[in-house]
Copies of this chain bind each other. A is one copy, B any other.
Amino acid sequence: MNHITKPVNLKQVKITDNFWKKEITLVRDAVIPYQWKALNDQIPDAQPSYCMHNFKVAGNIVNNMTHKADYTRPVYTTNGFCVWPEDTANPDERFYGFLFQDSDFFKWVEAVAYSLQQCPDPELEKTADEAIDIVCRAQQIDGYLDTFYIINDISKRFTNLKDNHELYCFGHLTEGAVAYYEATGKDRLLTAACRYADCIAAHIGSDEGKLHGYPGHEIAEMALARLYEVTGEEKYLKLGLYFINERGRQPYFFDQEASAKDTGKEGLRYQYYQAHLPVREQTEATGHAVRAVYLYSGMADYAKLTGDESLKTACERLWDDIVLRKMYITGGIGATHLGEAFSFAYDLPNDTAYAETCASVGMVFFARRMLALSPDSKYADIMERELYNTVLSGIGLEGTSFFYVNPLETLPEACYKDERKQHVKPVRQKWFGCACCPPNLARLISSIGAYVFTETENSLFVHLYMGCCLEKNLKSGKVKVTITSEFPWQGKVQIHIDCNVSEPFTIALRIPGWCGKYKAEGTQGAVSELKQGYLYLTKIWGSDTIDLTFPMEVQVLEADERVREDIGKAALMRGPIVYCLEEADNGKELHLLKIDTDASFETIPMQIGSDSVLAIKAAGFRQKKVKSPGLYHLHTNTEYENTTLVWVPYYAWSNRGEGEMQVFTRI
């Protein structure tokens, strides 16, 4: 496979960007401490997490071996939360929370690790070390580490891979452990992850007598690839690849498990789990969107690690299916809240959208891996679209409230009164019972530096234009690359290269898909080539400054005509930012507004909360009301009054109280 690059180590990158530094700081100062409290049930008026509690209880059981699973079975609420009958004995020794509660700690420790790499904090590191001790104390002698089964009934472990998230928790453990090891050099959690991986490999695999299974909720695939990369142990590559290869083969492993069978129609069975077909035969992105993009990310990892072209082709096909047929303009994926899943092609309703924050986080993972497989700017364009829109929309400007669901149109009344929209919230929520999105945001944002570049030995690809600096080793010395930019508001980027070795070196600069004509100055003397959306510049660099200009015009965009919900409507983008109308600027009944596509669209600075953003202003129309005696009236020539429309960045919506919002507006 040609063109394979690898992500640069987060340690090499220092983020200096005004825009992202604020987000990173929010995560460090607000999200991580808040989440630590949540893990320890210290948030007043919030449903307790019980996450650390469960590890402590499991630790006692493992170490004293006094536990007997002799008490009443727990009861599960309809959303899978585990509660106990009130009269059960030993309340302090029970498991509480979701089956996958362990993963909350693992996601937290991953975010902590990235944060420590950018900004050392001995006190936070100490807290994490102590927590890791508690976690590791819960590990069984054979390496098993899942508090739900350790506490409830260890004999039942590995009996419901489809639904009970053991391998999902293992995946997050491993991601967290690798990150913490890379950040601190401390291997206690990494060792735990390796031991748990070994335990899994002892029970699951192709050998006779082992379960021929794979995860119901994917992530272990990606995680095992990282574990292989950091340890160099082939066995982890092999286990991850086994999950990839075994998935979706007939007879279905999930059918053989004790759990309830999927009774879906033949041919659609296990689509929710992306386990309806062997992965290389899958052509459509289906089912639970987060699971899907985690799987595809894992597939891309193994395509890279093993050079398997058929896996790469499958990834490309699935990528195209998402991006060409199933993605909102905001980057949101998973159009239906039923199963938090992909809907069918071009079915992208604005007001009932699911577009889970975590799915966009997962899409960033997938994009980075596709970029590593082949540096094509179409992958970086989507990565950028996700980051600046649906990912950031997931977190309030103040950093302590979150969207799980990211609709493209809201009417608050409908969120309260229409049960079809009960998943849509008009304002960000403080925390979630199923708290997957906030920690996922935390781990992505605190590691944002790892998405800016990929590299080969003698080349550096710049995918995102955020202020940062990087030191890269060449054979004969170092090169320092400094990016200065005012993204996403201005398209001017300065790249300063500081190099004192006489070795030619290529810097490949992404030309964003949203910009028509770009300008690159200061490239004298370099061999220059434009390929797959990257400007390749090769020379022996000294102290050079490249000035890039990517004009950020306001773009009026329409969806493919097959998107029924967007017909006759348009949305605005400027640079990577998708815009929306809010009630705060445009009054109620946004559906009455109409864009004048010939108007001149001006940018205006606006303060939203503590953030300075660029809003867009243009003349537009508001449909006049017709005096009608009833609900239906004879068509008269539709009249409009002139008005001024004001758009704000989609990611910043709902930071000024509750109100209507819409991305697509009539033209």
Contacts and interface: CB of A to CB of B under 8 A. Distances in A.
Interface in A285-344: 323-325, 327, 329, 336, 338-339, 343-344
A417 B343 CA distance: 7
B557 A336 contact: no
Interface stretch (A236-244, A273-281, A626-634): A626-634
Contact of A592 (B344, B561, B571, B628): B561
A567 B592 contact: yes
Nearest to A516: B634
A352 interface: yes
A419 interface: yes
B417 A567 contact: no
A632 B559 contact: yes
A579 to B, nearest CB: 13
Nearest to A414: B347
Contact of A336 (B347, B420, B631): B420
A319 to B, nearest CB: 12
Contact of A626 (B324, B558, B634): B558
Interface in A617-645: 623, 625-626, 628, 630-635, 638
A558 B667 contact: no
A413 interface: yes
Interface size of A as a range = 35 or more
Given A561-B592, A561-B625, A338 B631 contact: no
Interface string A461-477: 00000000000000000
Given A323-B631, A420-B352, A630-B324, A623 B347 contact: no
Nearest to A571: B632
A151 to B, nearest CB: 30
A83 interface: no
A564 B631 contact: no
Contacts of A327: 631
A411 interface: yes
A635 to B, nearest CB: 4
A556 to B, nearest CB: 4
A591 interface: yes
Contacts of A656: none
A214 to B, nearest CB: 26
A134 interface: no
Interface in A555-572: 555-564, 567-568, 570-571
A635 B418 contact: no
B418 A555 contact: no
Copies in the complex: 2
A83 to B, nearest CB: 16
A597 interface: yes
A338 B419 contact: yes
Interface in A463-522: none
A563 B631 contact: yes
A343 B418 contact: yes
Most buried by B among A413, A420, A589: A420
A348 to B, nearest CB: 8
A419 B337 CA distance: 9
Interface in A582-632: 589, 591-592, 597, 623, 625-626, 628, 630-632
A568 to B, nearest CB: 6
Nearest to A559: B632
Q: Which of A324, A338, A557, A626 has the most CB of B within 10 A?
A: A557
A666 interface: yes
A623 B561 contact: yes
A504 B338 CA distance: 66
Contacts of A597: 635
Contacts of A667: 635, 638
A560 B592 CA distance: 11
B568 A568 contact: yes
A564 B411 contact: yes
A343 B421 CA distance: 12
A628 B559 CA distance: 9
B323 A634 contact: no
A420 B628 contact: no
A560 B628 contact: yes
A420 B591 contact: no
Contact of A413 (B344, B352, B571, B634): B344
A180 to B, nearest CB: 39
Contact of A631 (B343, B559, B625, B633): B559
A324 B414 CA distance: 19
A630 B420 CA distance: 30
B623 A558 contact: no
A418 B417 CA distance: 21
A414 B343 CA distance: 9
Contacts of A631: 323-325, 327, 329, 559-560, 563
B329 A632 contact: yes
B411 A570 contact: no
Contacts of A561: 589, 592, 623, 625-626
Given A625-B561, A635-B557, A635-B667, A418 B336 contact: yes
A567 B666 contact: yes
Contacts of A625: 561
A155 to B, nearest CB: 29
Given A559-B631, A638-B667, 4 more contacts: A347-B418, A558-B633, A561-B589, A561-B625
12 contacts: A324-B630, A325-B631, A329-B632, A343-B418, A352-B420, A411-B564, A556-B634, A556-B635, A558-B633, A560-B628, A561-B625, A562-B589
Interface of A: 323-325, 327, 329, 336, 338-339, 343-344, 347, 352, 411, 413-414, 417-420, 555-564, 567-568, 570-571, 589, 591-592, 597, 623, 625-626, 628, 630-635, 638, 666-667
Q: Which 4 A-B pairs have the closest CB atoms?
A: A556-B635, A338-B419, A344-B417, A564-B591
